Amino acid sequence: MKATLSISGKTKVFGCIADPIDHVRAPSVFNPLFEKYGVDAVMVPLHVSSKNLETVVEGLRAMPNFGGMAVTLPHKLPIMKFCDEIGKQGNLVGAVNFAAFDNNRKLIGDNCDGTGFVNGMLAAGYPVFDKRVLMIGAGGAARAIAFSLADSGVSSLTITNRTSTKADELANSVQAAYPSVAVNAASADPHGFDIIINTTSLGLMPDDDLPLRPDLLEPNQLVAEIIMNPEDTPILKAAKAKGCKIHYGRPMFDHQVSIIAGLFGYDFKM
């Protein structure tokens, strides 16, 4: 295997903390970026069980050359109690997906799933301010996206989900945090919306149902996806066929990487 990193005593160390660990993507995303931007840093996978989380966090805090970590399951919520500060989105969502140590070894955690989505839309030329948005799904990613959409000033947000109680609960939480935005839970009827977002996992598998009836889409609408693979999910293909604008799932991920890199102290343009 080709060695792409030159590690010395000066190399700054970052981690990606998870259990299980084999599937994590962050090291294979960050290490090529460190190399591309000439940054003397490395990201390593940290396989940490829930019962050892506190011990590991305190150990990492004691290592001045350890800068921070991408946080994934099952630690997104439990690590919050070992953080000294949590950002606004992390508090609203109730989970963090990265945490960085500052110069005083305080651990700052936050959630950038939703900001990554909104920044990806903006970078593609699709502002969300003042838009009427239908979001399909009320899972983990949807929760983060909903708070970020409200924070970005959408005029209304309607949430629909297979398990309707989860849509109700999420709509109530977002409405309480952002009273000026009209938030409700309803069925997956896209009529009257500017932007429709699929945050469900429907589309990952070739024989999945579509998340909404494509014949109800209108050509002036934008249909956004957060699934990255396949790139052209069935709902995006159907939306394209109806003449809608579409937005892929990948920019959400790229913009999260950019935000996390910023918190680690680096300016990586994606």
Ligand X SMILES: NC(=O)c1ccc[n+]([C@@H]2O[C@H](COP(=O)([O-])OP(=O)(O)OC[C@H]3O[C@@H](n4cnc5c(N)ncnc54)[C@H](OP(=O)(O)O)[C@@H]3O)[C@@H](O)[C@H]2O)c1
Instruction: Considering only the stretches 12-20, 40-48, 194-202, 215-223, report the one whose residues sit in contact with ligand X under the rule CB under 6 A.
Output: 194-202
CB of 201 to ligand X, least distance (A): 4
> Three-state SS for 222?
strand
Measured between alpha carbons, how far is 109 from 90 in angstroms, rounded to an integer?
7
- The one-letter amino acid code at 13 reads V
159 makes contact with ligand X (CB under 6 A): no
Among the listed residues 2, 51, 76, 88, the single catalytic one is: 76
The answer to whether the CB of 84 falls within 8 A of the CB of 96 is no
For ligand X, the closer CB: 39 or 226: 226
d(CA 268, CA 213): 39
204 is a contact residue toward ligand X (CB under 6 A) = yes
User: 163-192: which residues touch ligand X (CB under 6 A)?
Assistant: 163, 166
How many Cβ atoms from other residues are within 10 Å of residue 33's Cβ? 17
With beta carbons less than 8 A apart as the criterion, state whether 84 and 109 touch.
Answer: no
Q: Closest distance between ligand X and the C-beta of residue 123, in Å?
A: 14
Stretch of 15-23, 34-42, 64-72, 137-145 lying at the interface with ligand X (CB under 6 A): 137-145
Please pick, from the candidates 226, 239, 260, 263, the single residue that binds ligand X as defined by CB under 6 A.
Answer: 226
Ranges assigned E (strand) in the chain: 12-18, 41-47, 66-71, 85-86, 98-101, 107-110, 132-136, 156-160, 182-185, 195-198, 222-225, 245-247
Site residues for ligand X, window 5-24 (CB under 6 A)?
none
Task: Check if 51 is active-site.
Answer: no
Judged by CB, which is closer to ligand X: 110, or 113?
Answer: 113
Residues at the site binding ligand X, with contacts judged by CB under 6 A: 113, 137-142, 161-163, 166, 199-202, 204, 226-228, 249, 252-253, 256
